[in-house]
Structure formats: structure tokens, C-alpha cells
């Protein structure tokens, strides 16, 4: 049996690419230096993969920013406003990714969206009627040649034609089908070039196939691949799917001339059933996704081998694969020096997953039941130390129906709060964090390393809080925040104080571009030992009469941005966390904090890809979990929530059902659809659609913000509208933050005059 992976992380095991790219952005290093770092990372990874005995080694899974953007650029899908800047190819690419403001012009970045059901974000390429899709770039070929020069024949991976067309944003009149011929020609050209370069296999990633598909979708897919596969010559094509099963098109895809089909046996709940019921063509290779590309837990060899053997018994030609790209897991346990082995022996990151593949490969070809590696793996699953807390389990079991409902009802609360706070119309606020400047990070690092006393650490943060309270007052914001200087990120901070959590040192996972997150691990039952944020908020509130927002992360986001347990249900884990956050909310309220924001930045993250599963599999417990957090507060206490995206028109009722008083969300990069939908659905919650994009260093003008607000006012009642940026400002610099917020407040003030 052979082994394969779909892709590998690419930021470098110690985030080398991130740091080097950021240096390049700051103009501190040359493009050659950046390219060299990238090359070094690729070489290290290919060599590692080869040395572990991996049979199908991917290439072109590397990216300077994002693979969807890479694919768009490869096929010449570059909006004119970027080419017009006249920058180098790489800088044009970065301008699309991050926006550009400088001597050559001023353009915003492309939109960014969540990559399927992961916490990775991709750039949404934009296409207009004048775009000529053609094979224009050389990146995949260059990387293939680079590996070849190292003696490694890789399997190039590329986002497939169908998924690409489905992810594009069409800004002209033309639609996906209008581009079918051009796309076929471009992909066929790519295949020909790879065959000529000596590639044996080419992998086309088509995760879009795991959605609910229409018959038009399937027809488009068939048209595209009939065209592309006609040109494959002696090359072999692997159709790779992941994040679910292909129940809508299994028959269609197996009937096409693919040489291999990659199916996800883990998230694809119906995959096994599909293969067993319909069979699998003898002339194709089944790349069976059985090693989880998303979780950090060791593979259960017994279960995996059982599936492999069932497939083999059907005479299916099986290659053992990961369930999705390893992009979604950290690099290696070798960087973890502090966690006790009794825990880490249950873990497998990317590098360890390569080891698992190698081990499984050996076991699959022998009578494994008595093999030492197999027995060791089996015994591991029989033990899980320190994970049970009876008090927590009893508390979850005792939750009553009324614990999910806040009283009085929204309308009454809204009236009470309007009086209580007496804010101006279009109240201004921010989402929570202020720039995490070098000194802020240094203070936290010094504390972590024990280089400074707890007092010195707290003193520094208090100074920062005071500084920023002053800045906010001067700018004239209405509802203030303390700035989150104590937080590395919005989940780890809470996880560190909750019991049941484990922390890694270097287990970074790419979130978007150069941004990485280090999700904590939910190991056991979760509970709160003591207040987590009260001191900071109380101190910040003592500096101002204006309302100071308490700042918490919600249970669904904490769950979704952690590596979850697999031995209890997600629902149960989430309710445990919800009870802990509920205690914190009540403590904040008891200590004089009158506005409390509970971020649910990642609420949509685990929304099933198939609409039919949305409620019963997820929203039916995720939304109640949020309500459990705030149902105990007084009518006078204003509960805010925040989401990092605006695509919730389709779950708008569920969002309103969270029953928050105010919701802020990302909106500056998206169109008016969300506003239409708020209006149509008589959305009751007050809303702050972000007026400018915080992912980019650009400073929006007053006019621009005013124009955005005026647009919003065509759909949102003035008494419901809040004015705020898209998201937290932690990744921004100080000058641009202050300048942007001044413009924001100015825009709100001008609007008030006109109201
Ligand atoms: N309160 C958090 C912040 O401002 C929210 C971050 C987020 O939504 N990702 O940073
Ligand atoms: Zn956000």
C-alpha cells in the first residue's frame, strides 16, 4: 500500500515564512531573501516527507499568502486595478492580498472568506467580463522543477476548475458557465505542461463537491472534466475531495476518466456507505482519507486498518491518504518541550502524521494484530488521564430549559437600555483589541519567561489601558474598550485560565496570509476556577464615566478555535464552556461593568457544509449555548456580540435568536446583501456592520466611512445602527489606528448633524 498527503503546512515549523514575509512588507529585506526562505522551507519539507517514506509528495501546496489567490493569478484572474499599479508580479499579488497604499496608488484588498468549514481564510478572486482566463503563471512548474532538482518527483496540487469557478466572485455579467471553455483550455494546458515536465500525477482539489449540489453544478463539473481529461495524455489525474462526502455526484465522478479519486472517510459521513453500495472502479486508485488532517489526535490504527481491509477485500486499489491538507494542523510535536508525555502521547501533528502514515503502511501489508506498534496504539486509546470532573458534568446535566432564555424580552430591554446609557444616535465603539505593539508583546513574553514580576507585568498593562482610554476619550468614542493587551489571542487567554485545557508552545496554524493562531487543546471537562477578566475591566472602567465594554470570548468560538476532544460530544464541551463564561459575565456585572461583549467570531466555523445538517447537527445547540452565557444578567446590562464575517444572511434567524442586544460584524469587504437581509427579516438586534477593513493598513477617509454609513441607513433604522470597524485592531499599527478611528468618529458626528 502506498501513502499520500493532500498538502502540508507552509509557514515554516517556527513560522519562518511569516516573519520573513513581514520583514519584506516592511521593506527590511530584499525579494531574494524572501524567496530564499521560501525555498528553504520547501526543501526541508520535501526532504522530510521523502525520508519518512511518503509515496505521494505534494508540491505547489506552498504559498506566499493563499492557494486560491495563487490559482487565480496562475490563470490570469487579476482585476485591472491591481495590474494598473505597475508593481512586480509578487507585489501585485501582495496588493491583491493586503491592499496597497503608496506611491503607485491606493487599492483595497480582495475579499477574504472562510475556507469551507475551517479556520483558514482564502482570498476571493474577482473576475469581470474582460478577464481572459489563461495559463499565465509558472509557480506550480517552478516548484515542481525545484523538487525534481532535489531528486523528488512530486505530485503537483492545484485547486480544481470547478471549485475555482464556484469560489470566484463575478463582478460583470458573465457567470461561471461562460468561462467553461477558457478554463478547460487553461487546465488542459497546465496538465500538458506537467506531463512534459515529467509529472506522473497531478492532483486537482475539488472540495466544493462536498456541498449540496444542483444538477447545474454537476453538469458544469462534467463539462469541465470531460474537456480537461481529454487532454491528459500519459499523465494521471487525481480528483481530490475533502471536508465531507460526495453523495450528490459519486456516480458522476467515478464515471469520468480520472485515474484516482480522493475521498474523505472522516468528515465524509457517507463515504464508506457510498463506496460499499456503489462499488469503486477497478481501473482507478482510491485515495482513502483516513488520517485526520484537522485534528491533533493520534490515529486509531484499529479503525483505520479495518476500513483499509474492507476496501482491499473489494479489490479496490487503495492509497492511504490524509482526510484533508495538513495545512490545518501544527508542524511538529518536537517543538513542544513542556507538556507531559502522558498527554502528548495522544497527539499527532503534521510531522507525526507522516510517521503514522508510514507505520500504517507497514501494518496494512501484514497480519498486524500482534504487531508492537499496533498494540501500543490500541492501549493508548484505553487510557485518558485527568479528563473527568464530576461537578462539571453534573452541572451540565442540571441545565434547565429556562436557563436558555433572557428576560425581559429584547424590546423591553432595548427601551430600558436607551434610557440607561443615553448614547447619541450612531454610537461609536471598537471591537476590543488595540495594536499589539512590540512593547505589549514583550511585556507578555517577559512575564511568561518569568523575567518580570507579576506586579510589573500588571503595571505595564494598566499603563497601556490608561493610555488608550485617554486616546479613546480624545477621539470621542462612545463605548470604550480596555484594549486586550493581556491577550495573545482571544481563545488562548481564556483557555489558560480554564481548567480542562492544555497549551502548546509552538503549535501554530495558519489562519490567513502571515497570520497564525495557536489553538489550545481541550483535554478534559472545562471549568472556571476564578474571575478571568474582571480586574482589567474594573480598572479600565475606573478611568472613565463612559461605558467600558467587558470583553469575553463566547463558548462556541472558544470551542471552534480550540482542538476539540473526540471522546465527548461538541455540544457537551460547549455547554461546559458556556457555564464557565456565564459565571464570568455575572462577575463582570456584579463589579459594575454595564456593557459586556461576548465575541462569537467563529460561530459559523463548524456550520456543516450541507444546509440540511445546519440546525440538527449544529445551530440547535450552538445558539442556545450563547444564550446560556447571558440569560442571567439584568435588563440594564447591555450584551454585545461580534462576528468576524457577514455571511449570515442564510442563518439570520439563528443570529437574531442569540438574543444579544447589539451585534457588530465584518461588512466593509462585502456587498449590501447582508443589509437587505437584515431589513427583510426585521432583524431585532441592534447592528454595527464594520465601516472599514482592519485587515489592511489603509486609512479610510471620512467621506468613505460616511458613504458606507449612508448605504447602511438605506436598510437599517437609525436607532439600530452602531458605528465601528470590522474587527479588533490588534494587528494594526498605532498611527493608522488613531487616524482611522478619528475619521470614524468624525463620520458619525457629521451624520448625526444631518439626522
Ligand atoms: N474582541 C476581539 C478583538 O477585538 C475580537 C477579535 C475577533 O473577532 N477575531 O480582537
Ligand atoms: Zn472579528
User: What's the pLDDT score for residue 65?
Assistant: 98
User: What's the pLDDT score for residue 652?
Assistant: 95
Mean pLDDT by 10 residues, the chain (755 residues): 98 98 98 98 98 98 98 98 98 97 95 92 97 98 98 98 98 98 98 98 98 98 98 96 98 98 97 98 98 98 97 97 98 97 97 98 95 96 94 98 98 98 98 98 97 98 98 98 95 94 96 94 97 98 98 97 96 98 98 98 92 95 98 98 88 97 88 88 97 92 96 96 97 97 98 92
- Give yes or no: 300 in active site: no
Give the atom of ligand 1 at the shortest distance from the alpha carbon of 597. 1
User: What's the pLDDT score for residue 33?
Assistant: 98
Q: How far apart are CA 187 and CA 179, in angstroms?
A: 12
Task: Verify whether ligand 1 is closer than 6 Å to residue 433 (CB atom).
Answer: yes
Q: For domain 2-273, which architecture applies? A: Alpha-Beta Barrel (3.20)
Nearest to 434 by CA among 382, 407, 470, 478: 470
Residue 355 host element (H or E)? helix 350-364
Q: How many helices (H) and strands (E) does the chain have?
A: 29, 23
Same fold, 2-273 and 390-401+413-754: yes
Q: What is the distance in A from the centroid of ligand 2 to the CA of 713?
A: 22
Residue nearest to atom 4 of ligand 1 (CA): 728
Structural domain boundaries in the chain:
2-273, 390-401+413-754
18 known member of a binding site: yes
Q: Do 125 and 68 meet the contact criterion of CB atoms below 8 Å apart?
A: yes
Task: Verify whether ligand 1 is closer than 6 Å to residue 490 (CB atom).
Answer: yes
Task: Verify whether ligand 1 is closer than 6 Å to residue 551 (CB atom).
Answer: yes
Q: What is the distance in A from the centroid of ligand 1 to the CA of 678?
A: 22
Task: Verify whether ligand 1 is closer than 6 Å to residue 133 (CB atom).
Answer: no
- HEC letters along 149-201: HCCCCCEEEEECHHHHHHHCEECCCCCHHHHHHHHHHHHHHHHHHHHHHCCCE
Residue nearest to atom 9 of ligand 1 (CA): 601
CATH ID of 390-401+413-754, from 3.40.50.1100, 3.90.25.10, 3.20.20.210, 3.90.1300.10: 3.20.20.210
Residue nearest to atom 3 of ligand 1 (CA): 728
Ligand nearest to the CA of 561: 1
Query: Of 121, 211, 640, 695, which is the active-site residue?
Result: 695
Cα separations (Å) of 424 from 418, 477, 720, 753?
Answer: 10, 11, 11, 11
CB atoms near residue 604 (< 10 Å)? 23
114 known member of a binding site: yes
User: What's the pLDDT score for residue 351?
Assistant: 98
User: What's the pLDDT score for residue 309?
Assistant: 96
User: What's the pLDDT score for residue 581?
Assistant: 98
Task: Verify whether ligand 1 is closer than 6 Å to residue 727 (CB atom).
Answer: yes
Strand partners, 240: 205, 262
15 known member of a binding site: yes
Q: What is the distance in A from the centroid of ligand 1 to the CA of 670?
A: 19
Say what the ipTM of the complex is: 0.99
User: What's the pLDDT score for residue 755?
Assistant: 79
572 known member of a binding site: no
Q: How far apart are CA 281 and CA 283, in angstroms?
A: 5
- HEC letters along 552-607: EECHHHHHHCCECCCCCCHHHHHHHHHHHHHHHHHHHHHCCCCEEEEECCCCCCCC
Task: Verify whether ligand 1 is closer than 6 Å to residue 431 (CB atom).
Answer: yes
User: What's the pLDDT score for residue 313?
Assistant: 96
Residues with Cβ–ion distance below 5 A, ligand 2: 601, 644, 727
- Report CA Rg, the chain: 26
647 known member of a binding site: no
Non-local CB neighbours of 187 within 8 Å, separated by 6+ positions: 160, 161, 204, 224, 228
Residue nearest to atom 10 of ligand 1 (CA): 728
Amino acid at each position: 500500500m502506498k501513502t499520500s498527503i493532500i498538502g502540508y503546512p507552509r509557514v515554516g515549523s517556527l513560522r519562518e515564512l511569516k516573519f520573513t514575509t513581514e520583514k519584506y512588507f516592511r521593506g527590511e529585506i530584499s525579494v531574494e531573501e524572501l524567496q530564499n526562505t521560501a525555498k528553504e522551507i520547501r526543501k526541508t519539507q520535501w526532504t522530510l516527507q521523502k525520508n519518512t517514506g511518503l509515496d505521494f509528495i505534494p508540491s505547489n501546496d506552498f504559498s506566499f499568502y493563499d492557494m486560491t489567490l495563487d490559482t487565480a493569478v496562475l490563470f490570469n484572474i487579476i482585476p485591472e486595478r491591481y495590474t494598473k499599479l505597475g508593481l512586480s508580479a509578487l507585489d501585485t499579488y501582495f496588493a491583491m492580498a493586503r491592499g496597497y497604499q503608496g506611491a503607485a496608488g491606493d487599492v483595497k484588498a480582495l475579499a477574504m472568506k472562510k475556507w469551507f468549514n475551517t479556520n483558514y481564510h482564502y482570498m476571493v478572486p474577482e473576475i469581470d467580463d474582460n478577464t481572459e482566463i489563461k495559463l499565465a503563471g509558472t509557480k506550480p512548474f517552478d516548484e515542481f522543477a525545484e523538487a525534481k532538482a532535489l531528486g523528488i518527483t512530486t505530485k503537483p496540487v492545484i485547486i480544481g476548475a470547478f471549485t475555482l469557478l464556484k469560489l470566484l466572485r463575478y463582478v460583470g455579467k458573465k457567470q461561471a458557465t461562460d468561462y467553461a471553455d477558457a478554463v478547460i483550455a487553461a487546465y488542459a494546458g497546465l496538465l500538458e505542461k506537467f506531463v512534459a515536465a515529467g509529472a506522473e500525477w497531478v492532483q486537482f482539489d475539488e472540495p466544493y463537491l462536498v456541498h449540496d449540489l444542483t444538477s447545474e453544478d454537476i453538469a458544469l463539473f462534467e463539462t469541465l472534466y470531460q474537456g480537461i481529461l481529454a487532454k491528459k495524455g500519459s499523465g494521471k489525474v487525481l480528483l481530490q475531495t475533502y471536508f465531507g462526502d460526495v453523495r450528490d455526484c459519486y456516480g458522476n465522478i467515478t464515471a469520468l476518466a480520472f485515474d484516482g479519486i480522493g475521498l474523505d472517510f472522516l468528515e465524509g459521513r457517507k463515504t464508506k456507505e457510498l463506496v460499499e453500495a456503489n462499488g469503486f472502479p477497478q481501473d482507478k486508485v482510491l485515495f482513502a482519507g483516513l488520517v485526520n488532517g484537522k485534528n491533533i489526535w493520534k490515529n486509531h490504527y484499529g479503525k483505520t486498518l479495518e476500513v483499509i481491509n474492507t476496501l482491499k477485500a473489494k479489490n479496490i486499489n487503495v492509497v492511504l491518504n490524509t482526510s484533508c491538507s495538513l495545512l490545518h494542523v501544527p508542524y511538529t510535536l518536537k517543538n513542544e518541550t513542556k507538556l507531559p508525555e502522558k498527554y502528548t502521547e495522544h497527539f499527532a501533528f503534521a510531522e507525526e502524521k507522516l510517521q503514522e502514515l508510514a507505520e500504517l503502511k507497514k501494518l496494512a501489508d501484514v497480519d498486524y494484530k500482534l504487531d508492537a506498534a499496533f498494540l501500543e496504539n490500541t492501549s493508548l486509546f484505553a487510557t485518558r488521564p485527568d479528563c473527568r470532573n464530576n461537578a462539571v458534568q453534573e452541572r451540565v446535566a442540571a441545565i434547565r430549559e429556562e436557563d436558555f432564555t433572557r428576560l425581559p424580552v429584547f424590546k423591553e430591554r432595548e427601551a430600558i437600555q436607551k434610557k440607561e446609557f443615553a448614547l447619541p444616535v450612531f454610537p461609536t465603539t471598537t471591537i476590543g483589541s488595540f495594536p499589539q505593539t512590540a512593547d505589549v508583546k514583550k511585556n507578555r513574553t517577559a512575564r511568561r519567561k518569568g523575567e518580570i514580576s507579576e506586579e510589573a507585568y500588571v503595571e505595564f498593562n494598566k499603563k497601556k489601558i490608561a493610555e488608550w482610554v485617554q486616546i479613546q476619550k480624545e477621539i470621542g468614542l462612545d463605548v470604550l474598550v480596555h484594549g486586550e493587551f493581556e491577550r495573545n489571542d482571544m481563545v488562548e487567554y481564556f483557555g489558560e485560565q480554564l481548567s480542562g485545557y492544555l497549551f502548546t508552545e509552538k503549535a501554530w496554524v495558519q489562519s490567513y496570509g502571515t497570520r497564525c493562531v495557536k489553538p489550545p487543546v481541550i483535554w478534559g471537562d472545562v471549568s472556571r476556577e476564578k474571575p478571568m477578566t474582571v480586574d482589567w475591566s474594573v480598572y479600565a472602567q475606573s478611568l472613565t464615566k463612559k461605558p467600558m465594554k467587558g470583553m469575553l470570548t463566547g463558548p462556541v468560538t472558544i470551542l471552534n478555535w480550540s482542538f476539540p476532544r473526540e471522546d465527548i460530544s461538541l455540544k457537551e464541551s460547549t455547554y461546559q464552556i458556556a457555564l464557565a463564561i456565564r459565571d464570568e459575565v455575572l462577575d463582570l456585572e456584579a463589579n459594575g461593568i454595564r456593557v459586556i461583549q461576548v465575541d462569537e467570531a467563529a460561530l459559523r466555523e463548524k456550520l456543516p457544509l450541507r444546509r440540511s445538517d445546519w440546525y440538527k447537527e449544529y445551530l440547535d445547540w450552538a445558539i442556545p449555548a450563547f444564550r446560556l452565557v447571558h440569560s442571567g444578567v439584568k435588563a440594564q446590562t447591555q450584551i454585545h456580540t461580534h462576528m468576524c464575517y457577514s455571511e449570515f444572511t442564510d442563518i439570520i434567524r439563528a443570529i437574531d435568536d442569540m438574543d444579544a442586544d447589539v451585534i457588530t460584524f465584518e461588512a466593509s469587504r462585502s456587498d449590501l446583501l447582508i443589509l437587505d437581509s437584515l431589513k427583510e427579516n426585521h432583524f431585532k438586534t441592534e447592528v454595527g456592520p464594520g465601516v472599514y477593513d482592519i485587515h489592511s493598513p489603509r486609512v479610510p477617509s471620512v467621506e468613505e466611512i460616511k458613504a458606507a454609513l449612508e448605504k447602511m441607513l438605506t436598510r437599517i433604522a437609525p436607532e439600530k445602527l452602531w458605528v465601528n470597524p470590522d474587527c479588533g485592531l490588534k494587528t494594526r499599527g498605532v498611527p493608522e489606528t488613531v487616524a482611522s478611528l478619528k475619521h470614524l468618529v468624525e463620520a458619525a458626528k457629521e451624520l448625526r448633524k444631518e439626522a
